[in-house]
Amino acid sequence: MLFEIITALSVITFLLVLYIKRSHTYWSRLNVPTAGRPHPIFGHVENPLSVKRGLAVRIKDCYDEFKRRQKKHGGIYLLAQPIYMPIDAELIKNILIKDFPHFLGHGFKFNEKVNPLAMNLLGFDGEKWKNMRTKLTPTFTSGKMKGMFKTLLDCGVPMIDHIDKLVLNGETLDIREIVSCYTTDIIGSCAFGLDCNSFKDPNAEFRTYGRKHMAPSFRTLLLQFSLFMLPDKIANLLPIKVVRADIEKFFISTIRDVLDYRTMNNSNRNDFIELFLEIQEKAKVDGTKMMTVEEISAQAFIFFIAGFETSSTTMTFCLHELAFNQDIQDKLRHEIRETYKKNDGELTYDAIMGMKYLDKVINETLRKFPPVAILERVCSADYIVPNTDLTLKAGTKVFISALGLHRDPEYYPEPERFDPERFSEENKAKRPHCSFIPFGEGPRICIGLRFGMMQIKTGLSMLLNDYRIFPDKEEEYNIEFDPRSFVSMKKGKVMLRVEKIGC
């Protein structure tokens, strides 16, 4: 019996190796260049079980190699799966904007029966995506953002009070933890209608479950593996839980409780929950299908993930850079303080949105540290790549390296240097359109872009108006990304010194 089992396993292994080896000739058969010899099993990525460099960094390596060889596009392999990589900015623009109907999906496929929180805008393709996007777009108008602005200011006050206490005690700050509490309070209030009070109670349920989901872990690596490396049909069949069961239960029950309370008490509040209730009322009037509690929970959850993690990491990276670049910090603080003066010592939505140098500083942060370093698309119909003989077959996955583009010396000389003036109108005009894509581009650009920028601008303005930021003596300038994290995140803490400054 043992002999038969060993024989069967040997045959299966042999056939699998043959299949992968055959698959690794896909691009050469189409005369598409590849990024060097692929690993016989894992392709152009490292073993996900012992990875030392994250997927984003490895994909950037492939981008750099194609660029060095002056290739406009190329092909790589994740396991046996061929991935198309456009390198030329014009090809990228075609895929994201001009020829978008051929690339409707992100390619994030999950078994919906075991993943109710994955039924969100990010995970939808085709008509499902279009219908949900249409429903949610009115949520993110400038008028709606203006209505939520006071909530952001209110969430900033406990942050300033908390830092004041730490400064009095002469403590070095883990700045990532502080801005994470700030963004948690904002998302908790705006997306879930909750007062989280993260600074008073760091172990509050909302903060605890959010931290659990976001913490880099071996589980995150496995999730990345299933998201990016497995064929969609296989990923869609496997009972892979995107969100842990206890976290899923907490978020769905929280939304259900808030919806019930609002409905029973006719309570109103300027937040996303109120807008979901408006969508429900409109569906009643129109006679269209209403969203289920699970669907509403899924949209609120993706707002939490996108709004919390991308904003907190961007603020963290920005403060890290400003600590090491005091001249830029001083120039930005001058603009912030002038804005306060012009508005009688207050911040307003219009004033925040009008700060030009703040825009440059944030954009330079997003260039150097794009929150989502790889944009994934899936070819939904056969597509002839312009000016080539290549036809991408329907179902082909496409990786666009935002990290590669953003650190490409052709577009950004000395890419490791932090220079906000790269985003002057004059310098922006010199670069191709899709050389800066921190939030994606085209019809699938991040729907929460306005909201994310608003909370980043508000938090940075409140912080830098009151404090000067310095690097801790142990803090190094060059940042190593955590390979276990799904978004761009520094490995380890970000320790900074903070000094209170006068008016």
Closest by alpha carbon to 78, among 49, 109, 46, 102?
46
The confidence score (pLDDT) of residue 75 equals 96
Q: Please, what's the b/e burial string for 446-472 (b: 16 or more CB within 10 A of its CB; e: otherwise)?
A: bbbeebbbbbbbbbbbbbbbbbbbbbb
Q: Does domain 2-500 have CATH number 1.25.40.10?
A: no
The confidence score (pLDDT) of residue 94 equals 97
Contact present, 119 and 108 (Cβ < 8 Å): no
Residue 383, strand partner residues: 392
HSE at residue 323, side-chain half, CA atoms within 13 A, is: 26
User: What DSSP string runs through 450-477?
Assistant: HHHHHHHHHHHHHHHHHEEEEE-TT--S
- φ, ψ at 146 (rounded to 5°): -60, -40
The confidence score (pLDDT) of residue 49 equals 60
Instruction: Measure the CA–CA gap between 227 and 229, rounded to whole angstroms.
Output: 6
Helix (H, G, I), strand (E, B) or coil at 258: helix
Residues 304, 295, 395, 137, CA torsion sign = negative
Low-confidence stretches of the chain (pLDDT < 70) are 1-22, 47-51, 107-111, 169-170, 214-240, 482-491, 503
Output the six-digit token pair for 441: 């581009």
Contact present, 193 and 262 (Cβ < 8 Å): yes
Residue 481, strand partner residues: 490
Bridge pairing between strands 81-86 and 173-174:
unpaired
Output the six-digit token pair for 245: 């069961």
Report the chain's terminal Cα–Cα distance, integer Å.
82
Name every residue whose Cβ is closer than 8 Å to that of residue 103 and which is 6 or more positions away in sequence. 95, 96, 377, 378, 379, 380, 383, 398
Instruction: Measure the CA–CA gap between 50 and 480, rounded to whole angstroms.
Output: 17
Instruction: Measure the CA–CA gap between 308 and 187, rounded to whole angstroms.
Output: 6
Instruction: Measure the CA–CA gap between 312 and 325, rounded to whole angstroms.
Output: 20
Residues 43, 47, 52, 57, CA torsion sign = positive
Over residues 171-213, the pLDDT tens digits come to 788 998 899 899 989 988 888 878 888 888 877 787 787 777 7
Contact present, 406 and 436 (Cβ < 8 Å): yes
Output the six-digit token pair for 426: 């004059």
Name every residue whose Cβ is closer than 8 Å to that of residue 2 and which is 6 or more positions away in sequence. none
Name every residue whose Cβ is closer than 8 Å to that of residue 146 and which is 6 or more positions away in sequence. 349
Output the six-digit token pair for 371: 């929150």
Instruction: Measure the CA–CA gap between 152 and 183, rounded to whole angstroms.
Output: 9
**Integer angstrom CA distances of residue 35 from 240, 333, 391:** 30, 44, 19
Identity of residue 338:
E
Domain extent listing, the chain:
2-500
Residue 84, strand partner residues: 75, 398
DSSP one-letter code for 61: H
The confidence score (pLDDT) of residue 13 equals 58
Output the six-digit token pair for 27: 């691009």
HSE at residue 155, side-chain half, CA atoms within 13 A, is: 30
Instruction: Measure the CA–CA gap between 52 and 472, rounded to whole angstroms.
Output: 26
Residues 33, 38, 41, 42, CA torsion sign = negative
Closest by alpha carbon to 192, among 176, 203, 207?
207
What is the average pLDDT value for the chain, to the nearest integer?
85
Beta-carbon count within 10 A of 443 CB: 14
**Integer angstrom CA distances of residue 292 from 53, 120, 129, 299, 304:** 40, 12, 16, 11, 18
Output the six-digit token pair for 188: 């908790």
Determine if residue 155 is labeled as part of a ligand binding site. Answer: no
Over residues 106-131, the pLDDT tens digits come to 766 666 777 888 788 887 888 888 88
